[in-house]
């Protein structure tokens, strides 16, 4: 147990969606490409059809394109707000941060870590009132994340356990004679 005045160590795990050092503009701009394509395409089809019929197209252009961009922007904001970028762990608690949280520098919202369910390819984690499905393919250090979540869930310091596991792990080498 750590001394009363010391804070427990925090362990951070980043998903493949973490923006890293990329700017807000680059991350949001990249995320906007597909939603813009999906929302503008129907407008373009309607405008082309009306133009070929020699109909009036300006209302579709004046209202359709801005509406499409608004929907694409709202969808992108929603998606970035739900896409998990990182998980921070300390004994008994976890803070799940979305891509949006990381981009705007939001403070971690520490909540109780209630449950960790393990399958072959994913983890289901209950933090606070929410449950998150963490696909192994989206977490580069998936096994370490799993071990740290289990340690934190049981109130143990995940950083200290990781250090102890590294020190106590036997080293087998064909050159060691063992």
Give the 3-state secondary structure of the chain. CCCCCCCCCCEEEECCCCCCCCCHHHHHHHHHHHHHHHHHHHHHHHHHHHHHCCCCCHHHHHHHHHHHHHHHHHHHHHHHHHCEEEEEEECCEEEEEEHHHHHHCCCCCCEEEEEEEECCCEEEEEECCEEEEEEHHHCCCHHHHHHHHHHHHCCCCHHHHHHHHHHHCCCCCCCCCC
Average pLDDT in the 36-46 region?
A: 95
pLDDT for position 9: 83
The model's pLDDT over 56-73, given as tens digits with 9 standing for 90+, comes to: 999 989 999 999 999 999
pLDDT for position 26: 94
pTM over 0.85: no
Using 50, 70 and 90 to split pLDDT, how confident is the model at 172?
very low
Q: With 90 as the cut, is the pLDDT of residue 175 above it?
A: no
pLDDT for position 167: 57
- Report angle CA 82, 116, 145 to the nearest 5 degrees: 75
Return all residues near 123 (Cβ < 8 A) that are at least 6 apart: 116, 117, 133, 134, 136, 145, 146, 149
The model's pLDDT over 105-163, given as tens digits with 9 standing for 90+, comes to: 999 999 999 989 988 889 999 999 999 999 989 999 999 999 999 989 888 765 565 55
Look over the chain and give the mean of its residue pLDDT values, rounded to a whole number: 86
Average pLDDT in the 8-21 region?
A: 90
Q: With 80 as the cut, is the pLDDT of residue 166 above it?
A: no
């Amino acid at each position: 147990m750590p001394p009363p005045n010391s804070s427990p160590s925090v362990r951070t795990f980043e998903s493949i969606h973490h923006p890293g050092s990329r700017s807000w503009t680059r991350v949001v701009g990249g995320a906007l490409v597909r939603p813009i394509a999906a929302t503008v395409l129907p407008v373009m089809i309607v405008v082309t059809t009306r133009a070929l019929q020699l109909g009036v197209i300006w209302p579709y252009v004046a209202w359709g394109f801005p509406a499409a961009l608004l929907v694409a922007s709202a969808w992108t904001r929603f998606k970035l707000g739900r896409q998990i970028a990182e998980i921070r762990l300390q004994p008994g608690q976890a803070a799940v941060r979305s891509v949006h949280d990381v981009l705007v520098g939001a403070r971690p919202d520490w909540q109780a870590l209630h449950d960790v369910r393990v399958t072959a390819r994913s983890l289901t984690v209950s933090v606070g009132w929410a449950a998150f499905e963490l696909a192994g393919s989206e977490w580069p250090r998936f096994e370490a994340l799993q071990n740290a979540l289990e340690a934190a869930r049981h109130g143990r310091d995940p950083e200290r356990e990781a250090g102890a596991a590294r020190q106590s792990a036997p080293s087998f080498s064909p050159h060691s004679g063992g």
